[in-house]
Amino acid sequence: MGKIGCASLEFEKKPYIKASACVAGKKEGEGPLGPDIDKIIEKPEAGQNCWEEAESELQRQMLEILLEKGGVSRKSLRYIFAGDLLGQIIATSFAVEDYRVPLFGLYGACSTMGEAMSLASIVVSAGYADNVVAMTSSHFASAEKQFRFPLDYGSQRPLSSTWTVTGSGGVIISSEKSNVAIRGITTGRIIDYGVTDSMNMGAAMAPAACDLIYQNLADFEIKPDFYDAIYTGDLGKVGQTILIDLLLERGVDITSVHHDCGIEIFDNERQGTYSGGSGCGCSAVTLCSRIIKKLEMGELNRVLFVPTGALLSTTSFNEGKSVPGIAHGVILERMN
């Protein structure tokens, strides 16, 4: 117990998921997870003046629902671990400032939910906090503005492109027992295979997901069937194929247990989202609408949740540099 292998921890004193919540936009609401999303925000502006403020508003509305579901007051919240995709994580900063809760601001691109849950679990497991929030968000329009082209250009999207999820998800990680525990974590490192296509984030992230899953299995000395499901964050269909191939090259077959939040969140055929969903909100919303519920209901007993991040920056991208990837793994377990 404690340190396991090169990059993992197994918690002696397990932290638990006390509550989870998510809000999302209209398109996400019309997708397969719609019925399980706590609140659909119909208008992309969310009543705000700009896309970044709209993204902050998603976080605020999610956090209100989360605290109410968990029966936790702002004052009994020890820390918030949070981040988003925008430069200087402004969606997060402006979202949480009125809460006056100590904040650890994170940047892990779309792996942020895994990074936040990992650190929150460490703090709770070590006895340094009783209730901690791990949360993140993304917004289709703020992400397109930050990373690609103005929406008004109506740029064509290649088939490898993904659709940034408009949504926010969060969990309260607590020392108090519930029926979903965090058994351990595996922390990712930066993996860079030299992908330079900002319209193919799945390819940029798949090697990081491969490294993380391989490391997790090695550290815990287990095989993929140890898990009922391994959920990557937002590889999409293109990234999923690459991930499965890369792991097969290393002798690991995850085909029977692999799911990808980016594939689950939209009905790609019907919704025109090409390779799938993406963004910090993609894995967070899928976790908080589908995965945790399946654990609570006993449809799944043990899950490796692996949000994946592409460390894309317009500055480095325009300078011709690659898009490195990172992934963070969290082992979720149903308790009887």
Q: Note whether 116 and 146 are within 8 A (CB).
A: no
> Measured in Å, how far apart are the chain's first and last C-alpha atoms?
21
Half-sphere exposure of 71 (CA within 13 A, CB side): 2
**Residue type (1 letter), 230:** I
CB of 130 to its own copies, least distance (A): 8
Tell me if 94 contacts its own copies by CB under 8 A. Answer: yes
Site stretch for its own copies (CB under 8 A), options 32-40, 93-101, 260-268, 288-296 = 93-101
Cβ neighbour number for residue 75 with a 10 Å cutoff: 9
Tell me if 5 contacts its own copies by CB under 8 A. Answer: no
The two structure tokens encoding residue 199: 């319209």
User: Of all helices (H) and strands (E), which one includes residue 146?
Assistant: helix 140-147
The two structure tokens encoding residue 32: 């397969």
CB closer to its own copies, 138 vs 240: 138
Tell me if 144 contacts its own copies by CB under 8 A. Answer: no
Provide the 3-class DSSP secondary structure of residue 184.
strand
Tell me if 149 contacts its own copies by CB under 8 A. Answer: no
Site stretch for its own copies (CB under 8 A), options 132-140, 288-296, 299-307, 310-318 = 310-318
Site stretch for its own copies (CB under 8 A), options 238-246, 263-271, 277-285, 317-325 = 317-325
Taking CB under 8 A as the criterion, the residue among 47, 126, 150, 159 binding its own copies is 126
| Angle in degrees, 0-180, between the axes of helices 140-147 and 51-70, rounded to the nearest 10 | 140
- Chain residues 270-289 in contact with its own copies, contact rule CB under 8 A: none
Site stretch for its own copies (CB under 8 A), options 123-131, 166-174, 224-232, 269-277 = 123-131
Residues 214, 218, 221, CA angle at the centre, nearest 5°?
A: 135
**Residue type (1 letter), 122:** I
> What mask of x and - would describe binding to its own copies in positions 7 to 46, judged by CB under 8 A?
x-x-------------------------------------
Size of residue set near its own copies by CB under 8 A: 60
Residues 171, 172, 176, CA angle at the centre, nearest 5°?
A: 140
Q: Write the burial class of residue 196 (CB in 10 Å: 0-12 exposed, 13-18 middle, 19+ buried).
A: exposed
CB of 296 to its own copies, least distance (A): 28
Tell me if 314 contacts its own copies by CB under 8 A. Answer: yes
CB of 3 to its own copies, least distance (A): 6
Could you tell me which of 135, 176, 188 has the C-alpha nearest to residue 14? 176
CB of 122 to its own copies, least distance (A): 6
CB of 190 to its own copies, least distance (A): 4
Cα–Cα distance between 325 and 252 in angstroms, integer? 20
> What mask of x and - would describe binding to its own copies in positions 48 to 87, judged by CB under 8 A?
-xx-xx------------------------xx---x-xxx
Cα–Cα distance between 7 and 132 in angstroms, integer? 23
- Contacts with its own copies, residue ranges (CB under 8 A): 2-3, 6-7, 9, 49-50, 52-53, 78-79, 83, 85-90, 93-94, 96-97, 99-109, 115, 118-119, 122-123, 125-129, 146, 187-192, 311-316, 319, 321, 324, 326
